Structure 1
Amino acid sequence: MAKIKVALDDGHGTETPGKRTPLFNDGSFMKENEFNEAVVKITGEFLKKYDIDVIYVASEKTDVSLKKRVDMANEKKADIYISVHANAFGDSWNDANGFETYIYSFDNSNNVKFAECIHNKCIAATGLKNRGIKAMKDFYVLKYTKMPAVLLECGFMTNKKEAELLRSYEYRKKVGNAIAEGILQYFAIDKEEVLLTIDEALNIIQKKCVFDDNTMKYLQFYKFAESMIIRLAEAMI
């Protein structure tokens, strides 16, 4: 049986004009692609544990053209296509909120089924307002892909509460894992209990406990350190 191929698209690029949050109280902001890229990587690592072939269609830091993204997915004969985004309403803080999923049309029942698998998993995992699955024929990545495709808007960058979620590792992991679980459901693959990787576990512990790099290095020197670190991180999620 041929390996399943999944095309993952982290929307925009790090330097795409205007694609960022308003300023937080400390003067900082989050670029949309920071969220998109992080989620796509989490989804990809999850899927690789199930021997799924992951195609990153926009691996460069620049804003890869929509045509190049779609062409890569089509040329590599991906089975499905997921484009990850964060939403916005205007360019200042406001109350627009929620999670929504776009498909090209409701005419293709297979695409609708795929969208439902992804969308429902994400709503359950995030707890955000359900803005539904919507048809949009103007989105290039939905119009020109030759496989079932979805574009996800995973919360509003212009809603301060949701923006704080979007820049947190915990929320990114929830979304990334939910997308992967939706993909498993779509392909009728049983989900196994898969532990975090050691790198994922170290990242969680360092952020939760605010340990410096030297402390993290010492932590890894203990006997059975890897198993302990992974289980400790799992308990922190």
Structure 2
Amino acid sequence: MYKHKLLSYIMLFLITFSIIIPVSTTQAAPLDNVLTTLGASTLSDQSTAAKSSGPLEKLFSFVFDKLLGPILNVFNGKSTTNPTTTQPVVTKPSPTPTAPSTTNGTLKGKVIVVDPGHGGSNPGAVANNTRESDNNLAVGLKLRDKLVQAGAKVIMTRETDRTVAAEGSSLGEELAARVNLAENNHADLFISVHTNENPDTSIIGGMTFYPSGKSSDLALAVQNQLINETGAVDKGTSAATFYVLRNAAMPSILVEMGFISNAAEAALLNQDSYRNKIAQGIMNGIVKYFN
């Protein structure tokens, strides 16, 4: 490597020295012609000013561009690729901001009664160390919060573990008190939340009931979204003659969230995260119904 460097330096010295020594005009012209021929490919790409330069500039351009440049690059172990070549710029998309809830404000002006079934002295179904009334209230409160966030006015038939009618009232009076809350507040919807049971403990799944001859579209919208959110077994929708359904003037449904009689489903119904999914499913169904 050092021999090559020494050789290049000697060549440069000799060329420079030959230029400094006076030469005759007859010798200069042929030298200019030779240099022009050797540097033709490089000079063809230069501007007019460069083409009009004298033999001295052409000589140095040829020596450094054609001879010493490539040699020194090799000696230094560098690539001859133009280091200023522009590389393609890859623009990474900025993180997509979290989209606001699509339900915000969509229920503005709607009056919705949420009815957590049972309560107080009437716990409903009891199995697998779980009370239906507790599950109903927990989901009902979550549903209330989601509906309020969407702009609805929500009326709860109960917000604690109690009966709606005065303690000691008959079952008929208790159910009538729930419907009367909806009627007196001119509710747009009546949503009753319950937990199912069955002597066959292998049965699982969610289902939604509606009054015969009306509200089937509301029931279907809620049922579909409930299953989408929870992944529960889809037991479909069905007409029923429950008191709160047949006596409510507004569209009404009764949602059976799952079977407390099944140990695995009872355990799910006790989980806060699963309760939230149920509430979200019912909420999504209500929004879909109105839209």
| Larger relative contact order (Cα-Cα within 8 Å, sequence gap ≥ 6) | 1
> Could you tell me how far apart the structure 2 residues matched to 1:16 and 1:147 are?
26
2:271 corresponds to = 168
Per the alignment, residue 122 of structure 1 pairs with: 226
Q: CA separation in 2, counterparts of 1:84 and 1:146? A: 18
Structure 2 alignment gaps of length 5 or more:
1-106, 165-173
Q: Which residue is 2:144 aligned to? A: 44
The within-5 A match list for 1:18-167 is 19-22=125-128, 29-64=129-164, 65-90=174-199, 94-105=201-212, 107-108=213-214, 111-137=215-241, 139-167=242-270
Task: Please give the alpha-carbon distance, in whole angstroms, between the structure 1 residues aligned to 2:121 and 2:286.
Answer: 30
Kindly state the Cα deviation for residue 58 of structure 1 after the two structures are TM-superposed: 2.5
Larger-gyration structure (1/2) = 2
**1:128, distance to aligned residue in structure 2 (A):** 1.3
Root-mean-square deviation (CA, aligned residues, Å) is 1.7
Distance in structure 2 (CA, Å) of the matches to 1:2 and 1:177 = 17
* Closer, same or farther: CA 119–70 of 1 in aligned 2, 3 Å: same
Secondary structure of 2:135's aligned partner? helix
TM norm structure 2: 0.58
Q: Determine the C-alpha separation between the residues in 1 that align with 2:120 and 2:108.
A: 34
Provide the secondary structure at the position in 1 that maps to 2:176: helix
- Give the TM-score normalised by structure 1: 0.70
Question: Aligned equivalents of 2:108 and 2:231: distance in 1?
Answer: 35
Residue 2 (structure 1) shift? 7.6
SS in structure 1 of the partner of residue 281 of structure 2:
helix
Stretches (4+) displaced over 2 A: 58-61
Task: Report the alpha carbon displacement of residue 60 of structure 1 after superposing the two structures with TM.
Answer: 4.6
Identity across matched positions, percent = 33
Deviation at 1:50, TM superposition (A): 1.8
Aligned equivalents of 2:280, 2:123: Cα separation in 1: 29
Aligned residues: 176
Output one character per residue of 1:135-191: Cα deviation in whole Å (capped at 9) or x when no partner. Answer: 112x00101001110001111001011000000001100001111111111111xxx
Would you say the 8 A contact 2:108–2:151 is kept in 1? no
Give, in angstroms, the shift of residue 45 of structure 1.
0.5
